[in-house]
Amino acid sequence: MLENKAYKFWFATGSQDLYGDECLKNVAEHSQIIVDALNKSGKLPFEVVWKPTLIDQASIRKTFNDANNDPECAGVITWMHTFSPAKMWIIGLQEFKKS
């Protein structure tokens, strides 16, 4: 019998460091609530894994490169909690090579 691989999808939240630490703490809490709800729904065939809030180009790029190198990561779900400048995301998305 064939066995499905236990893939995971990463949940990456985009925001900006314009509103201070308290706001970013709330952003992280909100994204964790979303991930928990997705995993508890019973409607998804794979686990969704929360990742820390991405607020700059370097953290975005690192997250997507880490995803590329994780054999269990099947893809990345992105959610923009607040306006996150698209320019910050270009390099990370260009380097994302999951197929």
CATH of the domain spanning 11-95: 3.40.50.10940
Q: What is the pLDDT of residue 89?
A: 86
Q: What is the pLDDT of residue 81?
A: 81
In sequence order, which ranges of 41-85 are alpha helices (DSSP H)?
57-69
The pair phi, psi for residue 78, each rounded to 5°, is: -115, 140
What is the residue extent of each domain of the chain?
Answer: 11-95
Question: Which mean pLDDT values do the consecutive 10-residue runs of the chain (99 residues) have?
Answer: 78 90 95 98 96 95 97 95 78 86
Q: What is the pLDDT of residue 3?
A: 61
Environment class of residue 53 by beta-carbon count within 10 Å: exposed (0-12), middle (13-18) or buried (19+)?
buried
